[in-house]
Amino acid sequence: MFAAPAPRRGDVVVGRDTVGRALRISSHPEYGRVVLSLWQDGRCIGTVRLAPEDVPDLVRSLTSAVLPEPGDVAAAG
């Protein structure tokens, strides 16, 4: 699948590791889904379709990935 217009409801997050890589987040309430799609140079290379009720768990997981663990030596720095 080739690049579609940017999502009307959602966002695009540009990757920092590979030139041309992006994550598109799009809402599709008519289907009861939120779609995360991975793009490389304008081409969709993978998707994950979530129910809206899964989004808070995803946000918690992302947040916990960047917050220091209690007692983390690097955080005490």
10-50 pLDDT, tens digit per residue, is 899 999 999 999 999 999 999 999 999 999 999 999 999 99
pTM assigned to the model:
0.76
CB atoms within 10 A of CB 38: 15
φ, ψ for residue 62, nearest 5 deg: -65, -45
Straight-line distance from the first to the last Cα atom of the chain, in angstroms, rounded to the nearest whole number: 46
* pLDDT per residue as tens digits for the range 46-57: 999 999 999 999
Determine the 3-state secondary structure of 62 from DSSP.
helix
